[in-house]
Structure 1
Amino acid sequence: MIRDESIESYLGRLASGEPTPGGGATGALAVAEGAGLLAMAARFSAAEEDARSSEGLIAACLGLADGDERGFGAVAEAFGLPRDTPEARSRRSAAIQAALSEAVRPPRGIVHAAERALDLAEHVLDAANPNVLSDVGAALGCIRGGLTAAAVTLETNLGPLRDEGLEGIVRTDVDRADRLVARADALLGRVRAAVTG
């Protein structure tokens, strides 16, 4: 599990020729890093409740990273199933759809976790100790990166997805991610304006 790995081990696996971990797991970890920075900034700003909320997001995002790795691993496995007979093709197709239905859950969760992180970032920013403004800015950059990774991962899964109801839900989350990226940019603009005075 990613949560139990050293950074060096995780990055080595990320750089390998294996299909997992990939972009979704990386997006979850980016949001987790952003939440970690927010927890630190909140503590320097006497906002302990925000710090604890941020720590909860870290735990949630670590779970999403592990879930994304498992989910995409199942998709890759399903795509590798035999397709030499009509029955095998039918089984393979059903396995792909079942795996995709599960694989979209973690990146959708990343979008929702990132939204909570942006709520916290805005709250922390409003009362931030000036000495940690750059950390709030770095947190926003991490959260933004996580949103982008989640959106691209979801868009990639839309191609082979055949469940129209789930497809609509996924498209809604991609649109939400795009709006949240714009919100992160606006908050980052506030940070940079405050830093440059």
Structure 2
Amino acid sequence: MIRHESIEDYLTRLASGEPTPGGGATGALAVAEGVGLICMAARFSEREDLAAEGEKVIGACLRLSDADERGFAAVADAYGLPQDTPEQKEHRSAAVQDALAEAVRPPWDIVDAVAAALDLAERVLADANPHVLSDVGTALGCARAGLTAAVVTLLTDLSPLKDETLADELRAEIDRADRLTERADAMLARVRESIAG
């Protein structure tokens, strides 16, 4: 599992020619790193309560990185099923749709994790130690990267998806991610202003 790998081992796998891990898993890890910085900033600002909340988000993101890798692998396996006969084509199509319906869950949940991360960052920034503002700013960049990963992954899964109800839900989640990106950008602009004095 990704969460138990060394950073070097993970990056070696990421750079390989294998289809997993990919963008979704990487996005989840980016959010986890960002929340780690928020936890550090919280502790330097004497907000252990916020750091404890952040540690739960980190754990969720690590689980999401593993879930995304499994989900994408299942989609790849489904696309690799034989389709030489009408029955095989029908089975393959159903398997692809089933796998896609599961694969959208981790990137969907990344958006939730980023929402939690931004809430934590906002609360830390309300009374932050000025020496950790750059760390919070970096955390916001990580959160934004996670949102980008979630959106492009959801868009990729959305294209072949035939379940229109689920597709509509994904479109709504993509819109939500775009709004969260705007929020992260606005927060980062405020951090930059504070650092610049």
TM-score using structure 2 length: 0.99
- Tell me the amino acid that sits aligned with residue 117 of structure 1: A
CA distance in 2, matches of 1:152, 1:20: 16
CA distance in 2, matches of 1:126, 1:144: 20
Shift of 1:131: 0.3
Shift of 1:37: 0.2
Partner of 1:22: 22
TM-score using structure 1 length: 0.99
Partner of 1:65: 65
Partner of 2:193: 193
- Tell me the amino acid that sits aligned with residue 159 of structure 1: S
1:32-71 equivalent positions in 2, closer than 5 A: 32-71=32-71
- Cα shift readout 1:148-188 (whole Å, capped 9, x = no counterpart): 11000000100110001110111111111111000000000
- Cα shift readout 1:111-148 (whole Å, capped 9, x = no counterpart): 01100100001110111100000000000000000001
Partner of 2:160: 160
- Cα shift readout 1:29-87 (whole Å, capped 9, x = no counterpart): 01000100000000000111110011100000000000000000000000000011100
* Secondary structure of the structure 2 residue equivalent to 1:82: coil
Partner of 1:182: 182
Partner of 2:101: 101
Shift of 1:106: 0.2
CA distance in 2, matches of 1:109, 1:14: 21
- Cα shift readout 1:83-124 (whole Å, capped 9, x = no counterpart): 111000000000000000000000000001100100001110
CA distance in 2, matches of 1:50, 1:168: 34
* Secondary structure of the structure 1 residue equivalent to 2:11: helix
* Secondary structure of the structure 2 residue equivalent to 1:188: helix
Partner of 1:134: 134
Give me the CA root mean square deviation: 0.4
Gap regions ≥5 residues in structure 1: none
Partner of 1:110: 110
* Secondary structure of the structure 1 residue equivalent to 2:152: helix
* Secondary structure of the structure 2 residue equivalent to 1:89: helix
CA distance in 2, matches of 1:101, 1:70: 13
The count of corresponding residues between Structure 1 and Structure 2 is 197
Percent identity over paired residues: 68
Partner of 1:13: 13
Partner of 2:144: 144
CA distance in 1, matches of 2:184, 2:14: 26
Gap regions ≥5 residues in structure 2: none
1:75-86 equivalent positions in 2, closer than 5 A: 75-86=75-86
